[in-house]
């Protein structure tokens, strides 16, 4: 049973957290305060007014009774007093009249059997010793009947018969029934309370209906729109007319989705173009490797033949001018051979085996590969490294690709004929710790708004045709495969600084 109740409470709990529940609860409280508060004050005032009206009516009735028997008191005519009292009870509202001494002995009563009895012995009434607490009058209500104890004092007209007596000589007890007037009052009171409850309920249902029709239904449409957006549906639109806040929100949602759709289409187009370009670059790389291979063979033959001719001329004391020309031919042919070897080396399929690798030599080879471009740009390279070899566990070819990409990026950005690239290799102080490689250039640097996106695929700030946006993406993946990390230094005054950390060997 407890488990069943817990399930019900678990299902109901989210409902108590909804905006609708909170709003309707607030509306309920406001309605109770706005309607219930005034009604409570009205009922309170009605009760007070009715009580005052009842007391005034009883006092008026008691005064009328007293006036009707006053002549009888003066003449000490007991029969007249008794007869007048009985005549007064013929009035519908006057139910009973008694006159008794302060001691409780009943002198007159419309119930003749009560005469000469004591009030304390009457079982149907509670005897109240009148004026024992200093009160002048006593009102007792039982059901729809009021009992009014009114004191009768010694008047100057009574002194001839009551010489020497002062104060109260008797008490008049008048019972007045207010059944009809109280029923009318109670009906009015019930009608007021019921009307207030009906007003609260009607207003509550009207406000609830308005909320569901004007707000909740529109909120459901907006929520449905966000759910469709979360599923990736960029064709969904929220249909909502009007100039209210929710309609404006729906309009903003539709505009945002439209912009997202346009951005998605542009991104897909950009990705497609870059994939096609990357595919062309791969093909171009393969063609370049083939061309390098074809160029390398005749270059090797030319180099060999030139060296043989040079050796023969030196042995035969040939013309020095021709020997100098042969030296130039040999030097230029060696450059062609170095260039083709670099292309072939760079175009080889990357192996995935890791071994102990000398970072100093890898960086030197990378600089050697890019030497023609470095010389063409007249860029100054400063490579700072320790005298001893810095060894890491890695793949030399992949790391070479990393360093070549970073150097190429710097060459694209540094000023012409005034560029400077600094490569700082810092070994780990303790065996097994990370070593650090810092690449720094004096280019314009990377704007702050692009810093979080530079490692994303196909992102580039270079001019069209000068970059694929894959270089740093590949660099980060290779470094991650080496259990290292690469990051862009922040708050550099000028240029860009990349910091690479790799695990040292040993």
Q: Is residue 267 over pLDDT 70? A: yes
Number of Cβ atoms within 10 Å of the Cβ of 445: 16
Q: What is the pLDDT of residue 360?
A: 92
| Residue 327 banded pLDDT, cuts 50, 70, 90 | confident
User: What whole-number distance in Å separates Cα of residue 41 and Cα of residue 101?
Assistant: 43
SS (H, E, C) 163-189: CCCCCEEEEEEEEEECHHHHHHHHHHH
The dihedral of CA 103, 107, 108, 112: what is its sign? positive
Is residue 150 within 8 Å of residue 66, measured between CB atoms? Answer: yes
Report which of 454, 353, 333 is spatially closest to residue 398, judged by C-alpha positions.
353
For residue 95, what is the enclosing H or E element? strand 94-100
Report which of 414, 335, 404 is spatially closest to residue 363, judged by C-alpha positions.
404
Give the global pTM.
0.44
Pair type for strands 94-100 and 168-177: antiparallel
Is residue 158 within 8 Å of residue 73, measured between CB atoms? Answer: yes
**Distances 259 to 226, 367, 460 between C-alpha atoms, Å:** 15, 45, 22
User: What whole-number distance in Å separates Cα of residue 302 and Cα of residue 96?
Assistant: 149
User: What whole-number distance in Å separates Cα of residue 420 and Cα of residue 439?
Assistant: 11
Helix axes 245-315 and 217-230, enclosed angle (nearest 10): 10
Is residue 115 within 8 Å of residue 106, measured between CB atoms? Answer: yes
Which superfamily does CATH assign the domain made up of 20-185 to?
PAS domain (3.30.450.20)
The backbone torsions φ and ψ at residue 203, rounded to the nearest 5 degrees and listed phi first, read: -65, -40
Q: Can you name the residues that pair with 258 across neighbouring β-strands?
A: none
Number of Cβ atoms within 10 Å of the Cβ of 225: 22
89-126: per-residue pLDDT in tens?
888 888 888 888 888 888 888 888 888 888 877 765 54
User: What whole-number distance in Å separates Cα of residue 497 and Cα of residue 491?
Assistant: 10
Is residue 67 within 8 Å of residue 88, measured between CB atoms? Answer: no
Q: Can you name the residues that pair with 168 across neighbouring β-strands?
A: 153
Name the token pair of 495. 């240029």
For 13, counting Cβ atoms within 10 Å of its Cβ (0-12 exposed, 13-18 middle, 19+ buried), the class is exposed
Biggest CA-to-CA distance, the chain: 186
Least confident window among 94-108, 117-131, 188-202, 266-280: 117-131
Is residue 431 within 8 Å of residue 506, measured between CB atoms? Answer: yes
Q: What is the pLDDT of residue 384?
A: 93
Q: Is residue 130 over pLDDT 50? A: no
Is residue 185 within 8 Å of residue 43, measured between CB atoms? Answer: no
Q: What is the pLDDT of residue 9?
A: 43
Domain ranges of the chain: 20-185, 235-348, 350-503
Report which of 102, 106, 97 is spatially closest to residue 69, judged by C-alpha positions.
97
392 or 243, which is more confident: 392
For 46-56, what is the mean pLDDT? 82
Residue with tokens 């817990």: 6
Q: Is residue 26 over pLDDT 60? A: yes
Report which of 342, 343, 504, 506 is spatially closest to residue 433, judged by C-alpha positions.
504
C-alpha 426: how far from chain center: 47
**Distances 370 to 32, 81, 194, 366, 410 between C-alpha atoms, Å:** 84, 140, 95, 6, 12
User: What whole-number distance in Å separates Cα of residue 339 and Cα of residue 345?
Assistant: 10
Q: What is the pLDDT of residue 22?
A: 80
C-alpha dihedral, 71 to 76 to 80 to 84, nearest 10°:
50
What letter does residue 455 receive in the DSSP assignment?
T
Rounded to the nearest integer, the mean pLDDT of the chain is 79
For 163-191, what is the mean pLDDT? 78
347-364: per-residue pLDDT in tens?
665 556 888 999 999 999
206-231: per-residue pLDDT in tens?
888 887 877 778 888 888 888 888 88
User: What whole-number distance in Å separates Cα of residue 70 and Cα of residue 172?
Assistant: 12
Q: Is residue 158 over pLDDT 50? A: yes
Number of Cβ atoms within 10 Å of the Cβ of 311: 11
Q: Can you name the residues that pair with 108 across neighbouring β-strands?
A: 99
Q: What is the pLDDT of residue 501?
A: 92
Identify the architecture of domain 350-503 in CATH. 2-Layer Sandwich (3.30)
User: What whole-number distance in Å separates Cα of residue 35 and Cα of residue 20?
Assistant: 22
Report which of 213, 200, 198, 136 is spatially closest to residue 168, judged by C-alpha positions.
136
Q: What is the pLDDT of residue 424?
A: 95
Q: What is the pLDDT of residue 432?
A: 60
């Amino acid at each position: 049973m407890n488990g069943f109740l817990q399930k019900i409470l678990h299902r109901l709990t989210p409902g108590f957290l909804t905006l609708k529940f909170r709003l309707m609860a607030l509306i309920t409280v406001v309605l109770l305060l706005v309607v219930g508060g005034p009604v409570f004050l009205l009922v309170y005032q009605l009760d007070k007014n009715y009580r005052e009206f009842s007391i005034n009516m009883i006092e008026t009735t008691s005064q009328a009774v007293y006036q009707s028997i006053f002549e009888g008191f003066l003449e000490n005519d007991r029969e007249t007093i008794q007869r007048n009292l009985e005549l007064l009870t013929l009035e519908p509202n006057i139910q009973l009249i008694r006159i008794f001494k302060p001691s409780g002995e009943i002198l007159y009563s419309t119930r003749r059997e009560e005469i000469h009895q004591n009030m304390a012995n009457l079982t149907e009434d509670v005897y109240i010793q009148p004026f024992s607490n200093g009160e002048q009058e006593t009102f007792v209500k039982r059901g729809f009947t009021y009992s009014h104890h009114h004191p009768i004092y010694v008047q100057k007209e009574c002194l001839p018969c009551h010489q020497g007596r002062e104060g109260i000589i008797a008490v008049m007890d008048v019972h007045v029934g207010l059944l009809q007037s109280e029923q009318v009052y109670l009906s009015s009171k019930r009608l007021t309370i019921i009307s207030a409850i009906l007003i609260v309920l009607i207003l509550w249902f009207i406000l609830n209906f308005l909320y569901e029709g004007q707000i909740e239904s529109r909120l459901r449409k907006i929520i449905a729109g966000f759910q469709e957006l979360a599923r990736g549906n960029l064709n969904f639109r929220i249909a909502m007319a009007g100039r209210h806040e929710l309609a404006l929100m729906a309009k903003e949602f539709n505009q945002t989705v439209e912009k997202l759709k346009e951005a998605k289409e542009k991104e897909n187009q950009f990705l497609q173009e870059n994939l096609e370009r990357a595919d062309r670059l791969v093909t171009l790389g393969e063609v370049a490797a083939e061309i390098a291979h074809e160029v390398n063979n005749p270059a090797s033959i030319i180099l060999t033949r030139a060296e043989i001719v040079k050796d023969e001329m030196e042995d035969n004391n040939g013309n020095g001018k021709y020997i100098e020309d042969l030296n130039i031919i040999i030097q230029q042919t060696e450059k062609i051979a170095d260039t083709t070897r670099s292309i072939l080396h760079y175009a080889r399929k990357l192996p995935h085996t890791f071994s102990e690798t000398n970072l100093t030599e890898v960086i030197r080879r990378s600089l050697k590969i890019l030497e023609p471009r470095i010389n063409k740009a007249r860029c100054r390279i400063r490579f700072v490294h320790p005298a001893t070899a810095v060894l890491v566990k890695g793949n030399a070819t992949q790391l070479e690709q990393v360093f070549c990409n970073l150097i190429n990026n710097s060459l694209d950005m540094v000023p012409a004929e005034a560029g400077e690239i600094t490569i700082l290799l810092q070994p780990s102080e303790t065996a097994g710790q990370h070593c650090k490689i810092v690449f720094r250039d004096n280019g314009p640097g990377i704007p702050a708004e692009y810093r979080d996106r530079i490692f994303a695929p196909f992102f580039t700030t270079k001019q069209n045709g000068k970059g694929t946006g894959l270089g740093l993406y590949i660099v980060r993946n290779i470094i991650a495969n080496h259990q290292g990390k690469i990051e862009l230094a922040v708050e550099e005054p000028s240029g860009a600084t990349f910091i690479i950390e790799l695990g040292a060997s040993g």
